[in-house]
Amino acid sequence: MGADAPKRFDEAHLREWCSARSIDFETDKRVDHERSDRPRRQYRCVFAWADTESESFEVGDDEWEIATQETPRTFLEIDEAGEARLKSWTDEYVFDVEALWTDGDAVVFRAAGIDGAKRLEARRLTDRPG
């Protein structure tokens, strides 16, 4: 599929689904080298964020602390061509989404080369395994 292919999901519905579950939804245009060499619009559902780290230093009598940028820990990211990246607590996958929809607290998708529809339960990606 080329970058001119239509999205295979309803952005407004996915954004609302995320909002109702306190899941962050982001859009960006950038290059993801595992999916393309060209910049593409990215749509990302961030289920959990990595712990933010900070660094302290002193300048004269002042102490400064700089926090690093927050990084998504678990997420589902789909680009405008339908290529997706899923990062769970333990694994990471890249696949070509044929269709994506929501069902209750799950995101459901069909992807090229994967038999049947797959369900991603939101709580499995928001709750750190214990």
DSSP state of 129: P
Other Cβ atoms less than 10 A from the Cβ of 75: the count is 21
Looking at residue 3, its pLDDT comes to 44
Q: How far apart are CA 67 and CA 5, in angstroms?
A: 38
Domain residue extents for the chain: 11-126
Q: What is the pLDDT of residues 70-127, one digit of tens each?
A: 889 999 999 988 899 999 999 999 999 999 999 999 999 999 999 999 999 999 999 9
- pLDDT tens for 31-62 read 877 777 888 899 999 999 997 777 788 888 88
- The reported pLDDT for the residue numbered 5 is 52
Q: Is the pLDDT of residue 30 over 80?
A: yes
